[in-house]
């Protein structure tokens, strides 16, 4: 026999510490997984969403282009439809967000007969030039956001929004 005998008090202390440690790990592991798991998830697909619009059909006049992508919020997947105003400026394709920088309403091209060849926000009379620059003296405080664009197999692909690089 060993001279280092475990007393009843030490045995109970070791046992309760071990059980408490397992219980704490059982509670903390789901919380840690919840925090870390989204970072480790691989994203399916790329950053660009295909549209049904052919790049050859675009002109200098902005047209409304709808595109749909799958959005994942935790375990809930949903299809989201978004819109962009797309036109050609020479050989360059421009895609602008339709979201007004004033209060988030939707702007329309030639939306008001008094302001031709401008984006118009019907909520509070916000106006934007064709390149998305806000018209001075109207409610919006900044230009419309711009979408990244690229062409693949003749079709227009729309990416993430970024600050307007045209103004």
**In angstroms, rounded to a whole number, what is the distance separating the alpha carbons of residues 106 and 126?**
10
**pLDDT tens string 4-27:** 888 999 999 999 999 999 999 999
**In angstroms, rounded to a whole number, what is the distance separating the alpha carbons of residues 95 and 107?**
13
pLDDT at 62 over 80: yes
CB atoms within 10 A of CB 157: 21
> Looking at residue 90, what is its pLDDT?
86
Is the pTM higher than 0.85? The answer reads no
Percent over 90 (pLDDT), the chain:
21
**In angstroms, rounded to a whole number, what is the distance separating the alpha carbons of residues 116 and 67?**
26
pLDDT at 42 over 80: no
């Amino acid at each position: 026999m060993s001279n280092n005998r475990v007393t009843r008090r030490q045995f109970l202390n070791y046992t309760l510490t071990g059980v408490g440690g397992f219980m704490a790990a059982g509670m903390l592991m789901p919380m840690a997984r919840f925090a870390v798991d989204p970072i480790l998830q691989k994203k399916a697909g790329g950053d660009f969403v295909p549209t049904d619009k052919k790049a050859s059909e675009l002109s200098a006049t902005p047209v409304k282009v709808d595109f749909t992508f799958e959005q994942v919020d935790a375990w809930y997947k949903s299809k989201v439809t978004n819109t962009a105003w797309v036109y050609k400026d020479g050989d360059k394709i421009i895609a602008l967000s339709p979201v007004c920088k004033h209060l988030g309403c939707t702007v329309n091209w030639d939306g008001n007969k008094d302001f031709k060849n401008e984006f118009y926000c019907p909520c509070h009379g916000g106006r934007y030039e064709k390149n998305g620059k806000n018209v001075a003296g109207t409610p919006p405080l900044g230009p419309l956001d711009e979408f990244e664009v690229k062409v693949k197999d003749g079709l227009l692909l729309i990416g993430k929004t970024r600050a307007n690089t045209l103004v």
